[in-house]
Amino acid sequence: MTVIRRAVLGAIAALPMIGLMPKAGQAADPIILGEVNSYTRLPAFTEPYKKGWELAVEQINAAGGIDGRPLEVISRDDTGDPATAIRIAEELVSKDGAVLIFGTFLSNIGLAVADFAKQKEVLFLASEPLSDAIVWSKGNKYTYRLRPSTHMQAAMLAEQAAKLDAVKWATVAPNYAYGQDAVKAFKSELTRLRPDVEFVEEQWPPVFKIDAGSTVRALEASKPDAIFNVTFGGDLAKFVREGSLRFLFEDRDVASLLTGEPEYLLPLGDETPEGWIVTGYPPADIDTPAHNAFAEAYEARFGEIPKTGSIVGYNSILAIAAALEKAGSTDTDALLAAMEGLNVDSSPTGPFTFRAADHQSTMGAYVGRTGLVDGVPSMVDWSYADGADYLPSEADAAALRPAE
C-alpha cells in the first residue's frame, strides 16, 4: 500500500494547495464527494466498484489526505432509476455539501445526472456509463467520463473482427443508449476496415428482459458468419445458454463487448463459450508494478481479487484526487479548469488523460478471447489497448459536441 500511495500522491505533491489549506488552529474539514450508483440493481459490478473507491479513499487519507484534508464519500443508491438519481444528486450537493458528483452505471442514468450537472453547474465524473452521448452529442462543460466508451471498445473489437474471414454479421444489443451506441460504432468501424462486410440481422431485446429463445432463433435464421454481442449480466448468461443449446455459436465467430470482465465472465462457469473476441480485464495475469501494488492491497483489504468495477472505482478517486491537487481548491470553476487535460500517471492500468476537447479519458481496456483455464472462465491471448488509439482527433471530437 505504501508503494501505491507514493505513486498516487508523489507526482502531484508539489502542486499549489492555497484553496484547500485549513485556517491555523482549526481541524481540517473533510472534502465531501457525492457518489451515486445502482447498488441494488447491479451488485455484480457496483459492489467491486465500491470496494475500489473505498480502498483509494483509505489510502489517500492514510497518506494525509489532500493537503491535510481527508476525503469523505457520501454514497447513495439510485436503484436503477434516473429520477431517483437526480433527486439524490440534488440532495448530495444542496444538503450534504458535496463539491462534485461521481459514479453511475447505466447510460440513461449517467445522461440524466450529466444534465443535472449542467443545470446545477457542478462537476460530474461519469465513472462507468459508456454511452457516447455523454461526452459527444449531449456532452457539457461540467461532465467528464472515465471508462473507455462504447465507441472506443467497439473499435477495439472491430479491429480484431476485421481480421476474420466473416462477411455476414448479425448484432444483438440491449435497446437503450449503450446498446444503440455500441452497434452503431461497431458497424462504422468494421465497415471502415472491411468495406466488404454486410449486416444481415439486428436484435434489440429490452435490457434485463431478454427473450433468449426468440432472439437466438432470429439470429440463427439470418445465417450470419459472425455475431456482435452487447448483452451483459443476466441477459448475457441467458443468451449464452440458449445459444449453446441451439448451436448458434457452432462454427461462428463472436465479438462480444465487456464479456471478458470478471463480473460477467465468471458467472458463466462451465458454460463459458471459448474463443469469443472480448473486451475485459484479466486481473490475475497483469504483471506491472502499479497493478501488482493495487491488486495486493485490494486482496489484503477485501480477501478477493479485483474485478473491472474495482479498477473503475479506484481510478475514479485517483482522478478526483489529482484534480483537487491540481486545482488547489474545491471551487467548481477551479476543478473544471483542472480537469481539462488532467493527467493521472499512477493508475493500475497505466497513465491516462482527460481530453480537453471532449472530456473523455484515454483509459484503455484489455482485448482477448474467452476460454476455460483449469476450469475457470478466463481471458486468454489478451493485450492492453490504449484508449487514445481508438478515439477521433480532439478537433473531430469537439465537432461532435453541442455548442456551449
pLDDT digits (tens, 9 = 90+) for 307-358: 999 999 999 999 999 999 999 999 999 999 999 999 999 899 999 999 999 9
| Interatomic CA distance for residues 377 and 313, integer angstroms | 23
User: What amino acid occupies position 125?
Assistant: L
Q: Mean pLDDT of all residues in the chain?
A: 93
| Interatomic CA distance for residues 76 and 39, integer angstroms | 8
| Interatomic CA distance for residues 327 and 62, integer angstroms | 21
pTM assigned to the model: 0.91
Whole-number pLDDT of residue 5: 42
3-state secondary structure of 141: coil
Percentage of the chain lying above the pLDDT 70 cut: 93
Domain ranges within the chain, ordered by starting residue: 2-149+285-363, 151-283+366-394
Residue pair 353/361 in contact (Cβ under 8 Å)? The answer is: yes
Q: What is the mean pLDDT of residues 133-137?
A: 96
**Nearest CA-CA partner of 142 in 362, 336, 323:** 336
Whole-number pLDDT of residue 346: 87
Residue pair 123/100 in contact (Cβ under 8 Å)? The answer is: yes
Indicate the fold that domain 2-149+285-363 takes in CATH: Rossmann fold (3.40.50)
For residue 14, what pLDDT band results from cuts at 50, 70 and 90?
very low
Residue pair 315/344 in contact (Cβ under 8 Å)? The answer is: yes
Per-residue pLDDT tens digits for 380-394 = 999 999 999 999 999
Same fold yes or no, 2-149+285-363 and 151-283+366-394 = yes
Chain CA centroid to CA 380, Å? 21
Query: In sequence order, what are the residues at sequence separation of 6 or more whose Cβ sits closer than 8 angstroms to the Cβ of residue 245?
Result: none
For residue 17, what pLDDT band results from cuts at 50, 70 and 90?
very low
Q: What is the mean pLDDT of residues 154-165?
A: 98
Q: What is the mean pLDDT of residues 68-74?
A: 98
In this model, does residue 3 exceed pLDDT 50? no
For residue 113, what pLDDT band results from cuts at 50, 70 and 90?
very high
Whole-number pLDDT of residue 9: 42
Domain spanning 151-283+366-394: which CATH class is it, in words? alpha beta
In this model, does residue 374 exceed pLDDT 80? yes
Residue of 22 and 369 predicted with greater confidence: 369
Whole-number pLDDT of residue 226: 98
